[in-house]
Structure 1
Amino acid sequence: MHRLRHCRGLACVFSPSAQSALKLKNNIPLASCSGLVSYCWGSRSSHQGQSSYYYSSWRPRLRYVLMSLVAGTGAVVAYGLHQVKSERAAAAVPQTVSLPVYTQEEVMKHCSLDKGIWVTYNGDVYDITDFVAIHPGGNRILLAAGGALEPFWSLYAVHRQEHVQEILSGYKVGVLQAEDCKKQEAANLVDPYSTDPPRHPALIVNSLKPFNAEPPPGLLTDSYITPSALFFTRNHLPVPQVDPNKYRLKIEGLPSGTMSLTLNTLKSNFPKYTVIATIQCAGNRRSDMSKVKPVKGLNWGFAAIGNATWSGARLRDVLYHCGFGPEVAAKARHVQFEGLDCDVTGMPYGVSIPLNKALSEEGDVLLAYEMNGEELPADHGYPVRVIVPGVAGARNVKWLGKVVISEVESECHWQQNDYKGFSPGTNWDTVDYKSAPAIQELPVQSAITQPVDGSLVDRRMEEVNVKGYAWSGGGREVVRVDVSVDGGKTWHVAKLRDNGEDEFPAPSPQPGRAWAWKLWEIAIPLPEGAEVLEVVCKAVDSSYNTQPDSVPPIWNLRGVLCNAWHRVKVKVN
């Protein structure tokens, strides 16, 4: 996070529309330090030594500036404004001025934009009314209105970074009385992540709370079936503790009313099907997009993908058993899924998929209770998760608690305001989530797992061995992988494998049901005299979709759907 100390720096992160609005409405020269500072804080001379001025009189002016921004750049600007505010306050307000003491009851009265949004943290009271508009997480910050931040920040550990603490400090208006502090401390002793399962030490951790991690790229393609312990983990919330004997899967939206199925019912009353399917996070390779321009989201490498054997009851069998029929099909269009993982308000993780995918005999959607021949690990959905082959990992809901047949998509945040793709020209000032469909099938993808970026190749070997994976969404089979060692000037066709044996060429799966990845490899002669190799791969699927050659044309503010040619550079020793 850059320390923006000058208004010229602040102006550069305002959108053109925001700059225009400010200039037209207030005739402010954004490139001028005095213009913005005077606008936000007014004349300083008549308020020397009055601490209340810094918490009230500047807010009406600053509110207009802040409301011109949204998440993303908003966080940067918020940090910059906080720096200016802190420096001016430190210079103008005597350090001996004490802040007022508030009771929890008084804080609770400030729980709306009309009354102001107050929160507490570590015994201090903050008025964050003006920060709501630029909170990178959207209006979810309002869930803490009038209460403590700790329960929410314990769910999203990103808030514990130093620059976030600095932003918050600029909104401090008082302290919480000692008695209420003790009550809060007692309530905050429970860590919602304290019961999370142990993880393999080889995993590369993107975030601890919630836990998100991927395996080292060098291990990713060691085997066709990804070991469960090394399968990438994407958690949005704490891992729920589920008693298998008390587990109930609710089915809603059918004429028979709400049905409740036990784990034993799923195992004993329905045929067991097994599907080998690859799951890929929609944010896989987000780190490649962040090199072009900052994006919002976990900084995934190219190993947020894995291939496993999944076993369970087919969703279509369960739905027909529970009463699905023509009268429902005439109206319903979607199947919603809700997990048992919930935030502190009780809101579960939820998404949906099209009904025709859920009901298709060729869709192979499973209510899975086994992974790689064993019960699901806790991190991967125990006791039941939905497996939706060929679509984004976000739709493969873990710890499945409810299935709803519906005329509409899930209304949850992760369906409506996340996991959507936008034009490279769309920014946080102009984004309209309603204008884009939720990501379902993913585009064709491939990546190089050997050699790794920055490694050395011995010229005496006379050739370089290149390995990797390739996969396409929607059941489209990968039919070719092209590899280059000179940045894409010349190409070689790799050998494909899509089973556990060293069988080349790979046998073809049933058309439209190529759910699993293909591993590929090739030995390419070293170009004479080359000192550096730019190794590149691109895959082609059965619909002749191929990968774009670079990231900038597909860049988007959320960093999803990154499938440009994968590139690594190696030196020839």
Structure 2
Amino acid sequence: MIFCILLFVFMGSVAADNSSLSYEQEPERSHRLIINQHEPFNAETGVDDLSKTFLTPSEIFYVRNHGPVPALQEPEHFNSTYMLQVNGIVESPFNISLGALQRFPEKVSMNATLMCAGNRRTEMSKIKTVKGVPWGPGAIGNAEWTGVPLWTLLSIAKADLDNPNLHVEFSGGDVFEGTTHYAQSIPMYKAGDRKGDVLVAWAMNGQPLTLDHGYPLRVVVPGFIGARSVKWLNRITVLDHESQNRYQQKDYKLFLPSVTWENVDPLWNITPALTQLSVQSAITEPADNSTIMHGSPYTIKGYAQSNGARITRVDVSLNNGITWQAADIVYQEKKGYDNRYWSWTIWALPVAEFPSPCVIVCRAWDTSANTQPEAAAHIWNLRGVMNNAWHRVHVHDDKHA
């Protein structure tokens, strides 16, 4: 019954026209963000702010852009003028306005962590230079997202949600290299799965999306690399192949350490695009190269996450991995045995007498006993993606503190 009502209200032949996007204005941004690139704008959350709260405030949530941020000329009219297309290999393609989408009875809110595949890239650069935005451990954040489940829209369009050979492409309003729009796709097994929890979202932490985070619409693909969560969404297309966008075909792929820019070309087409995130953890307090007085009390803090699996343990070493102890789980969503733990886990380890100078190391484990490799050198790759090696922080002694 609900599909009949929605089809009657929202189907039509009116073409989606989002021509009110331009590419000149720059949004307001918090001074607390660490800017890694000015054009296009890319910034991460500082370690002082990471893991302080379970939900990352929108103003300090990391920003990943591949091109200039679209500026909205008349956002006050977007409820009626901003149109989302759903088309491709579907029986009933349709267009829907932002306002109509927000009136869907299937509206849901969900907590989920997004993380750039290049998070912690700078550690790989210390081994050998890689190409990409120089991210530290702050290209990650956790937020509450509100929107409509993607599978609902695909069902209305009568897409084949059970076809393992289909892909769903998301096209955004941002452009790179002058004319090419950013687009990404995910397999139908994720897009059409009710438990995949992919959202077409218009709100973040209870407020409309900010321009930096995709206003007025974005996709949130929990458990997948952040590149697939396309911002400024204006079209959803069901395909019988992966997106051919450059950032799907010529980026976000993982190669052997022996692969260089001189011999990589034949491998792009035969190497699968990255999808799910690896198990990850990082130390947020203290920061690397901090000074802590020997013998003083101190609480080490950090985050951990997987691709939907629950984090079961975080190990911390105060002697560069020689001996370990289990950290306390400070905050973790309770979802039983359902592998839909899309949010990060916040952890802490109180130390009564800090052994400065030392090297702190952390590693996480999930319900499948997945853990992190010991060294970034073992997983180095020319793009510096998916660095989930043990995270190390060097601490110095201040005898005069």
TM-score above 0.5 = yes
Separation in 2, partners of 1:441, 1:550 = 21
Q: Which residue of 2 aligns with 1:466?
A: 300
- The alignment status of 1:437 with 2:257, answered yes or no, reads no
Deviation string 1:532-568 (CA, Å, 9 cap, x unpaired) is 1110000001111100111111000000000100001
Q: Shift in Å at residue 453 of structure 1?
A: 1.5
The Cα offsets for residues 346-392 of structure 1, whole Å up to 9 and x where unpaired, read as: 32101100101011111001000100001101000101100110000
Q: CA deviation at 1:218?
A: 1.1
- What residue is the counterpart of 1:404 in the other structure? 237
How far 1:331 sits from its partner (Å)?
Answer: 7.9
Structure 1 residues 266 and 378 mapped into 2: Cα distance closer, same or farther (>3 Å)?
A: same
Map of 1:205 onto structure 2: 35
Q: Cα gap change, 1:429/1:325 in structure 2, threshold over 3 Å: closer, same or farther?
A: closer
Residue 493 of structure 1 pairs with residue 316 of structure 2: no
Equivalent positions of 1:422-433 (< 5 A) are: 422-431=255-264, 432-433=267-268
The answer as to whether partners of 1:193 and 1:210 remain within 8 angstroms in 2 is: no
Q: Would you say the 8 A contact 1:498–1:516 is kept in 2?
A: no
Cα displacement string for residues 501-529 of structure 1 (whole angstroms, at most 9, x for unaligned residues): xxxxx7455521010000000113447xx
Q: 2: CA distance between counterparts of 1:549 and 1:280?
A: 21
| Closer/same/farther in 2, CA of residues 357 and 331 from structure 1, 3 Å limit | closer
Residue 45 of structure 2 is matched in structure 1 by: 215
Q: How many Å separate the matches in 2 of 1:402 and 1:510?
A: 35
Does the CA-based 8 Å contact 2:24-2:71 persist in structure 1?
A: no
Within 5 A, what are the aligned runs for 1:534-545? 534-545=359-370
Residues 1:519 and 2:346 aligned together? yes
> Which residue number in structure 2 is paired with residue 126 of structure 1?
none
Aligned residue number for residue 56 of structure 2: 226
Which among 149, 152, 170 is matched to residue 317 of structure 1?
152
1:209 corresponds to which letter in structure 2? Answer: E
Please give the alpha-carbon distance, in whole angstroms, between the structure 2 residues aligned to 1:427 and 1:356: 32
Q: For residue 330 of structure 1, report the CA deviation from its aligned partner.
A: 4.8
What residue number does 2:317 align with? 484
Contact 2:294 2:357 in 1 (8 A): no
Would the aligned equivalents of 1:454 and 1:568 in 2 still touch at CA under 8 Å? yes
- Letter of the 1:273 counterpart: V
- Asked if the contact 2:110–2:144 (Cα under 8 Å) also holds between the matched residues in 1, the reply is yes
Change (3 A) 1:229 1:510: farther
Question: Are the counterparts in 1 of residues 220 and 230 from structure 2 also a CA contact under 8 Å?
Answer: yes
Q: Go from structure 1 to structure 2 and tell me whether the alpha carbon gap of 1:441 and 1:405 turns closer, same or farther (over 3 Å shift).
A: same
Give 1:283's aligned residue.
118
Mapped to 1, the partners of 2:295 and 2:370 lie a distance apart of: 37
Q: Which has the higher contact order (CA 8 A, sep 6+)?
A: 2
How well do the aligned residues superpose, as a CA RMSD in angstroms?
A: 1.7
Q: Distance in 2 between matches of 1:480 and 1:344?
A: 44
Deviations 1:390-443 (A, max 9, x none): 000000000001111111000000100000000001111211211211111011
Aligned positions, number: 370
8 Å Cα contact 1:331-1:407 kept in structure 2: no
Q: CA deviation at 1:256?
A: 3.8
Name the CA distance, whole Å, in 1 between partners of 2:288 and 2:243: 41
Distance in 2 of aligned mates of 1:565 and 1:344:
36
Q: Given residue 236 of structure 1, which amino acid in structure 2 is its aligned partner?
A: H
Candidates 229, 246, 265, aligned match of 1:413: 246
Aligned to 2:82: 247
1:450 to 285, 290, 312: 285
Give the counterpart letter for 1:202 in structure 2: R
Shift of 1:257: 5.1
Report the CA distance shift for 1:394/1:313 in structure 2 as closer, same or farther (over 3 A). Answer: same
Partners of 1:286 and 1:217 lie apart in 2 by 15
- Counterpart amino acid of 1:553? H
Q: Does 1:546 align with 2:380?
A: no
Cα distance in 1 between the residues matched to 2:350 and 2:203: 37
Unmatched segments (≥5 aa) in structure 1: 1-191, 500-505
Q: Which deviations, in whole Å up to 9, do the C-alpha atoms of 1:2-37 show, x marking residues without a partner? A: xxxxxxxxxxxxxxxxxxxxxxxxxxxxxxxxxxxx
Q: How far, CA to CA, are the matches of 2:263 and 2:87 in structure 1?
A: 37
CA distance in 1, matches of 2:84, 2:90: 17
- Which of 279, 302, 321 lines up with 2:137 in the alignment? 302
SS in 2 for 1:350: strand
Question: 1:193 touches 1:209 (CA, 8 Å); kept in 2?
Answer: no
Q: Deviations over 1:37-82 (max 9, x none)?
A: xxxxxxxxxxxxxxxxxxxxxxxxxxxxxxxxxxxxxxxxxxxxxx
Letter in 2 for 1:394: A
Q: Does 1:387 align with 2:220?
A: yes
Give the SS at the match of 2:174.
strand
- Secondary structure (helix, strand or coil) at the match of 2:71 reads coil
More strand by share: 2
Could you tell me which runs of 5 or more consecutive residues in structure 2 were left unpaired when the two chains were aligned.
1-21
The code of the aligned residue for 2:249 comes to Q
| Aligned residue identity for 1:520 | W
Rate the CA distance shift 1:257–1:331 in 2: closer, same or farther, 3 A: farther
Displacement of 1:483: 0.2
Deviations 1:284-331 (A, max 9, x none): 0000000000000010000000000001000111111122247xx558
Shift of 1:231: 0.1
Alignment partners' CA distance in 1, 2:107 and 2:381: 40
Shift of 1:194: 3.4
Q: Distance in 1 between matches of 2:27 and 2:325?
A: 44
3-state SS of 2:196 partner: coil
Q: What is the CA–CA distance in structure 2 between the aligned matches of 1:401 and 1:238, rounded to whole Å? A: 16
TM value normalised by structure 1 = 0.62
Question: Which structure has more helix as a fraction of its residues?
Answer: 1
Q: Is the 8 A contact 2:281 2:302 kept in 1?
A: yes
Task: Give the secondary-structure state (helix, strand or coil) at the position aligned to 2:375.
Answer: coil
Partners of 1:289 and 1:525 in 2: CA distance: 33
Instruction: After superposition, give the CA deviation of every residue in 1:96-154 in whole Å (9 maximum; x if it has no partner).
Output: xxxxxxxxxxxxxxxxxxxxxxxxxxxxxxxxxxxxxxxxxxxxxxxxxxxxxxxxxxx
Which one of the candidate residues 385, 394, 400 is aligned to 1:569?
394
Task: Label 1:570 to 1:359 Cα distance change in 2 as closer, same or farther (>3 A).
Answer: same
What amino acid is aligned across from residue 392 of structure 1 in structure 2? I
2:392 alignment partner, SS class: strand
Identity score, percent: 42
